[in-house]
Structure formats: structure tokens, C-alpha cells
Amino acid sequence: MATQQATTQRGYAELVEITDKTFRVSSRVYREQEVFEREIAEIFEKTWVYVGHDSEIAQPGDYKTAQIGRYPIILTRDKDGAVYALLNVCRHRANAICRENYGNSQNFRCPYHAWTYRNSGELIGVPDGGRYPEGFSTRGLSLIRVAKVDSYRGLIFASLSADVPELDEHLSPVKEHVDLWADRSIGGEHKVLHPHRYAYLGNWKFQCENGVDGYHPGIVHESAFSTFGEFGIGNFAARDLVKRGSISRGFPGGHSTLEGGARDGRGVGRGLPHRAEEYQARLREVYGDDRAQEIVSNRHTFIFPNVFLFDELVRIIQPIALEYTEVYSHPFWLHGVPDDFNTRRLYEGTRQLSTTGMVNPSDLEMFAANQTGLHARMEWLVLDRGMQREEVAPNGERMGNYSDEVPQRSLYRHWAQVMARTEAGR
Amino acid sequence: MVSTARITRQEAEDFLYEEARLLDERDFFPWLDLFTEDAIYWIPIEEHSDPTRATSILWDDAQLRALRVHQLAHERNFAQSPPSRTVHSVTNVQVSPGDADNEAKVRCNLVVYEVRSGDHRQLGLGDLRALPAKCLYVLRYEERWRIAHKKVVLINRHMPLINLSFLI
């Protein structure tokens, strides 16, 4: 009967079982409503999550709506250029005040009773305010600000809890890889475009695991890769990547990377070779040969818990329900390159990883199949791959072969810590 | 040339019904031949955007159309295992003159119903989905009518969509 005990009684830390040679994750992490509720509360609503990119709210007055855990928010830029993350909730009777996804406005007017707020949050209008009792004040009734908002290289993160390390510290284990990604724009920042939006019938963590899973591509994406091969497009043979010294990394904090490591510029602009050459020459000029090569190498960087930096896209993971997840995948424009190069990148990203991509939908099919299998309540999932040869650096960074489950283990090491964090105090 | 480029509504309907039949019967290689070599097949997110600068749900040239059809024929295309069954339902057809002498514009409404069967109790299978859209075609007369441009404007184009690994 022990296995039938409720998760709370067993403790969240026990959902990940680690020995010298085994790393097992309980199927409960994907299939129990109680676990999902706690993930939303402890991970999404208490730690740093990615909410948007500077370029989405580039101009004064620009805004974007988003969701942190289950909290609807508005990300705004005021007339002085400052960025705010505000709860999209009227202080009167808790209506959502902004119903659009993107726009530009100095003010937000609640549609219910027209309480009106500045885009920095202050309440500036209450219709027929004289009906309120003496002493009623609009001060103290500003839109609630998300406790922490900060950005790094254009990536905006927010935390509903003030009790978090600075963003710098949160990102520090993986910062080198964020820099390599951001340095692809020379003399400016990336500009993200409207996202591809899709959904799948499965738990949110499948997408987190899969984007840095080097074991599956040659199998799940065989139909795409062999078709590309038939048409002579690119060097997509996933099994080759392993031979060429490609690697996976896991970092403290749950972050990870999957790196093609092929020093051939495969990460950027494959389909327009003359532009790719120009671009790489320019990178070498600015950064030197070695760093330029690193910058254009194929690289997937996962920042716990909800964002991937890909070669052509920024991918955001939004848990909606235990078995339903939305994904918003923003193509981005490199700064300082010819338009046709960016257009080609857009085309290739859409071909591969959009809602209709030749690669992406097969991953989503695996997630639905995975969630289906979990209904059988088989207790432990096996994430041992490559444990025996994982290299651990003094700072806790772990490195393995491309197809090893190093990133997934790093995800669950951190996951277990966060999920168990406040248990003792309860 | 001018006279051959006139298309009646009935001819346009026959053309669109034939395209729908090819898609629904998964007869994809003849479907490829409906297009001109330079044709773009576009499913925008922003209806009036420039697909070279804005995100699209689908933005296919001849090569990418061919890639898709080859992938659909591949035995290990997991997003299509089991495959989609579709019904393309075409209505509200209107024709108007094209911008070139040998072209015509055709507007229609389209609802694509889609389901993947197999073990329908499993997640991701057995859900009947409907994709309503308006379509704008540019047909060009090149020995016969061909699609020079196809634009499908889905009404739920801004929303998260599930498994668009079949042809709309």
C-alpha cells in the first residue's frame, strides 16, 4: 500500500530517487493534480519566470499581456521607458482590465466600472467617486506590481515573490550561453516577432525535457530528417551530431543546454550560404575566430522553468492544466544583418519548429503518448542515461554526451529542491 | 488570352472541389501539381502582414510543399501516425478579375474538419477539430487553371492550435 500513499505524505523530494548509477523520477510528477498545483504555486508563482522580450514592448506605451502561473499580467513600458509587470486585475472588483494581447496605451480602463489606471499602475480615475465614503483614497489602489521584474540581454523575467535571489544570480550558471545567443546580434538586440502558438495534451515538463533531449531526434524526427536528406537540405542527421563531439550540459538551478558543437555555423542561416559567410566573417571581426565559432554553433539553452533560446526562436512554455500545455514560440530578427538573411531564418524556423513545422508536431505527439502511458501509474521513469560518464565541475555544472540525460537530471534535481523547499515549515 | 482567363463561378467551384477531394483522399502528389512553380501557399497570423517579415502559421514555396508531401508519405511520420482524416468543405465562392490577363481571383469559405482515429481513447487521438477560414486564391491559366497563390485566413489563427501536421 505504500505506493498508494498521497504524495504529500511521502514528501516531494522523494519523487526523485538518485543513487550512484540510477536516476529515477516518479510518474507522479506528471500525473498528480496535487503536484501540478504545487508546481504552479512554488515554481511559477514564487520564482523567476520568463515573461517577454524588450523588443515586444519597444516603444513608450507598448504593452503585452502574459500569465505567470495562473496570474494574468500586463507587461508595460511607460512614457519614460521604464518596464512594469502589473497584475491585470482591477483593484475594485478584480476584473481583468486589459483583454488584448499586444497594444499601445498610456492608460488601462477597466471595462466593468471604468476605474482607470496609468500604464505604470497608478489609479487615476474612479467614475462618480463622490459616492464613496469620506476618506476613500485612490492611493493604495494602484494595480499590483509583480514583486520583481528585471531583464538580461533583452530577456525580461519576473517573480511574484520578492524572496528570490537577484536575476543575475538566478541566471549565472547559464549566463555564458545566454551571452553566446545574444551576441548573435551585432551592435544591438534581437527583435522578437509574433509567436507561433500551439498546444499539446500533456504535462508542461515534457517540453522542458524534450528541447534539450539529444536522444530522440534521429528517431522521432526521422521522417523530417530523411526528407530533408532526399532534397539535399542541410546536415540534419542527428546521429552524426553525437559523433562530432556534441554535448549536453546541466546546471545548478535546473538550467541546461544541448549543443551541436559542430563548428560549422550550422546554427545560423543554413539556407543562404553567401549571407551566412558574410555574417560569420563579421562575427569573426567583432569577436575573434574562436568566439565567433562558438556563437554560430547550434545550441539549445533552457532557462528554468519556462524558456528556451533556440537558433531561430525563443520558446515559452505555459502550463495550463496537468495534461494541457501551451507553447509560444517567437521567431527573432538578428540586428545588423541584411533582411533577406533574417527572412531566410524566419522561413527555416517556420519549416522546422512552427505549429505546422516538419519537426515540431512529432514531438507534441510524443508528449500526448507519454501522458497516455502515465495513466497506467507505472511508478518510476528511467533517466540514468550517461550517468556513469557524466563530468561534474566544481561549480556543479555537469556535462555529457549529446544523447545523455544530463539536462533532464539537472531539471529534476532542481525541481525536487524547489518542490520540497517549504515542506519542513508546514 | 484574355478570354481564356475568364473563369465562371462554376468552374472555380469545380476547381476548388477537386482540390478538396485530392486533400481528403490523401492524393497529395496530384495536389502539388495544382500549383504553379512560383506559387506561395500562405496561412498568415496577421492577415495583412508581409510574410517575409512577420510570423506565419505556414508559408510554403514549391520546395516546402514538396517536402511536406514527401514527409506525409513517410512511414515514420509520427504526428501523422495514425493519419488525419479530413473533410474540406468549400462554400461562398466568388470570382473576380485577376491583376494579370491570365489570372483570376477566387474567394471562398473553407471549413476543414479533422480527426485522427487509431486508439481514440488515447490523448491526442479521437478529437474532432474544425478549422474555419476564408480563402483567397489567385488562379493562373497555364494550359489549365493552376494555383498561383493560396491564402488561408483561419479565424482562430492567433490561438494555440494542436497538431497541424496535415494539409489545410
Mean pLDDT to the nearest integer, A145-159:
98
Residue contact A194–B70, C-beta within 8 A: no
Domains observed in chain B: 9-154 (3.10.450.50)
Interface test with A, best of B53, B120, B165 (most A CBs within 10 A): B165
Please tell me the distance in Å from A389's CA to the nearest CA on chain B.
32
User: What was the pLDDT predicted at A426?
Assistant: 43
Q: Is the pLDDT of residue A243 over 60?
A: no
**Chain B residues with CB-CB distance to A350 below 8 A:** 55-56, 58-59
**Chain B residues with CB-CB distance to A230 below 8 A:** 70
Residue contact A223–B66, C-beta within 8 A: no
Radius of gyration of chain B from its Cα atoms, rounded to whole angstroms? 16
pLDDT tier, A232 (very low <50, low <70, confident <90, very high otherwise): confident
| Ranges of chain B whose pLDDT falls below 70 | 1-4
Q: What is the ipTM of this complex?
A: 0.95
Please tell me the distance in Å from A127's CA to the nearest CA on chain B.
34
- Report the CATH superfamily, name and number, of domain A184-420: Naphthalene 1,2-dioxygenase Alpha Subunit; Chain A, domain 1 (3.90.380.10)
Domain edges within chain A: 49-152, 184-420
Q: Is the pLDDT of residue A244 over 50?
A: yes
CATH 3.30.70.80 fits A49-152, yes or no: no
Residue contact A223–B67, C-beta within 8 A: no
Please tell me the distance in Å from A194's CA to the nearest CA on chain B.
6
Please tell me the distance in Å from A350's CA to the nearest CA on chain B.
7
Which residue among A223, A350, A358 sits closest to B76, beta carbon to beta carbon? A223
Mean pLDDT to the nearest integer, A233-258:
77
pLDDT in tens, B22-66: 999 999 999 999 999 999 999 999 999 999 999 999 999 999 999
Secondary structure of chain A in HEC code, one letter for each residue? CHHHCCHHHHCHHHHEEECCCCEEEECHHHHCHHHHHHHHHHHHCCCCEEEEEHHHHCCCCEEEEEEECCEEEEEEECCCCCEEEEECCCCCCCCCCCCCCEEECCEEECCCCCCEEECCCCEEECCCHHHCCCCCCCCCCCCCECCEEEEECCEEEEECCCCCCCHHHHHHHHHHHHHHHHCCCCCCCCEECCCEEEEECCCHHHHHHHCCCCCCHHHHCHHHHHHHHHCCCCCCCHHHHHHCCCEEEECCCCCEEEECCCCCCCCCCCCCHHHHHHHHHHHHHHHCHHHHHHHHCCEEEEECCCEEECCCEEEEEEEEECCEEEEEEEEEECCCCCHHHHHHHHHHHHHHHCCCCCCHHHHHHHHHHHHHHHCCCCCEEECCCCHHHCEECCCCCEEEECCCCHHHHHHHHHHHHHHHCCCCCC
**Chain B residues with CB-CB distance to A366 below 8 A:** 78
Residue of chain A minimizing CA distance to B80 = A362
